[in-house]
Amino acid sequence: MQTKQLLNELSNPKLSKLVTKNMEQRLNKLKVFYKKNRRLPTYQEMLSIFGLSSKNAVFRIVSKFVEEGFLQKRLGKLAPTSRFFSLPLLGLVKAGFPILAEEDKKYLTLDEYLIEDPISSFLLTVSGDSLIELGIFEGDIVIIERRDTAATGAIILAEIDRQWTLKILRKDHIRQKMYLESANAKYPPFYPKEELKIHGIVKAVVRKVS
């Protein structure tokens, strides 16, 4: 693409759809480079990546990415933002009769979607099959939000008699006592002999399907 045409795209609001498409292609090229090299390319390297001959054109592209929130400048150097790693949200698709997804071109970062409070959240890998009836399987990653209280029915990270586990919090209204329940019929309820502590609640489950 000629530099003059590129500059027209970046400054002409009538070409917004074309800009979006071309900028997305350039963003994908940056992502490929970042995945391979674990860093962003230099301005000189971007000349080759984007097929341009003008550093001024590269500067305008970078400025557009900064403006849109995909890149940021730290101590004079470019760095990716969380939006740089976002994925396009293309609309809705039904799980019944097949229909085409409606393309919205919104961008969504999974951390923003899954993690409400990143400061107090952490990840754990599930071991065991006690929650399979809830669709939580061994090897899944769960997002835990640190809490010392939870509502009945919540999936919690608990310490019961100094043993750590993921279970469902329940209340025995006859005994007036809290206990833990599995989501697998082969396991009995777990009543604390000494104490039951809540250390967090499960906010989301992450699993690769292939």
- DSSP H helices in the chain: 3-11, 16-37, 43-50, 55-68, 110-114
Nearest-angstrom CA–CA distance, 5 and 170: 65
Nearest-angstrom CA–CA distance, 184 and 166: 12
To the query of whether residue 130 is one of the catalytic residues in this protein, the response is: yes
Out of 54, 55, 130, 210, the active site residue is 130
Out of 21, 35, 94, 167, the active site residue is 167
Q: What angle do CA 27, 100, 19 make, to 5 degrees?
A: 25
To the query of whether residue 127 is one of the catalytic residues in this protein, the response is: no
CA distances from 47 to 39, 64, 94 (A): 16, 16, 42
Active site residues: 130, 167
